[in-house]
Amino acid sequence: MIKPHGADALTPLYVADENQRKALIAEAKSLNQVVVSSATAANAVMLGGGYFTPLNGTMTKADALSVASNMTTADGTFFPVPVMNLTENANAEIGQRIALLDPNVADNPVIAIQTVTAIDVFSDQELSDIALAVFGTTDPAHPGVNAFLAQGNTAVAGPLEVLNFSYFETDFAETFRTAVQIREEIAELGWEKIVAFQTRNPMHRAHEELCKMAMSATGAQGCVIHMLLGKLKDGDIPADVRDASIREMVANYFPANSVMVTGYGFDMLYAGPREAVLHALFRQNMGATHFIIGRDHAGVGDYYGAFDAQTIFEKEVPKGALEIEIFNADHTAYSKKLNKVVMMRDVPDHQFEDFVILSGTKVRELLGNGIAPPPEFSRPEVAKILMNYYQNQ
């Protein structure tokens, strides 16, 4: 199986020993307590599950600035986005242990204990520089920029001991998986080549066929559909609805035992190209050998070019920085001429009217009115679940 990024084995920070975990939860009661941002809680979940291997905690200011400018930490470790515990009030001193409290669960239980190795204050200009490097913009209307700049200007750095996986392991018990668990399941299935597909949306016919195309082209034995379960921008479809629709599609339209439907506990950054590289990194960590990157991957609005998330791997990611292979996908749509889903680049003889293409706005309008999109666009079983959601809004 493919090696994790920058290590021979995963480095999950979750405290798996039950007695040790109980002792740490008891210790947390005597420590300074900080209710962290949702982004920091999500970072703890990802660190706990091994997705952020080889990191052992949140970054210092020096690491964050280095990662923002050239995608490496101060010691040269490749990493595409800063992973920080940003706050307005550190409530800590260097050398202390502090309890990080989960903002997304009732009563704010402790999600991790952090041993503080550095406390750094960023200037407004430095935060702006990071936002520009990671998101490609400082526009506060960008949901990722807005969430990043709202956290505070003080970075508390140091290793974490993660004590739980927040609401993800309870609210999405059938779907949430750590990188450790996915690797174990892949090993049990005996898959050697694995395609990973990232989604924050329901999957329609084009997405379904894209996974099948990638599996065929790479010779993969299986596909891991890996959905984001964390916070999204207003208007995005909730994770439980996406989960149900994707499972229905897989059950009806993929060969048995060829797909794993899983999810991970992270808040969407909407960082386009940089987030695509991050997505590739934690798909390598979970054991995938190939990762699908299509049109406007991890994008929002008009902030990124249609295929910037592909070209960043060619122009900015150093050769050998990641071992996972990228499967570059074009816009995919149903061809009326060929009566099947195709990549547009593969059919140069087609005109726009030869495809079944619907805007997101049009699809939402149809679903909200109880009208299923055409079967060339969406499987009827998927449309039924989505219609029920939109009609109950």
> From the CB of residue 121, how many other CB atoms can be counted at a distance below 10 Å?
11
* Dihedral, 94, 97, 98, 102 alpha carbons, nearest 10: 120
The catalytic residues are: 200-201
How far apart CA 215 and CA 194 sit, in angstroms, is: 8
Extended strands (E) in 234-331: 259-264, 290-293, 325-328
Phi, psi at 335, each rounded to 5°: -90, 120
**Which residue, chain included where needed, has tokens 């960590």?**
285
Bridge-based pairing state of the strands 259-264 and 222-228:
parallel
What are the angstrom distances between the C-alpha of 383 and each of 106, 210, 256, 393?
Answer: 33, 18, 22, 16
DSSP string across 127-185: HHHHHHHHHS---TTSHHHHHHHTS-SEEEEEEEEE---TTHHHHTTTTB--HHHHHHH
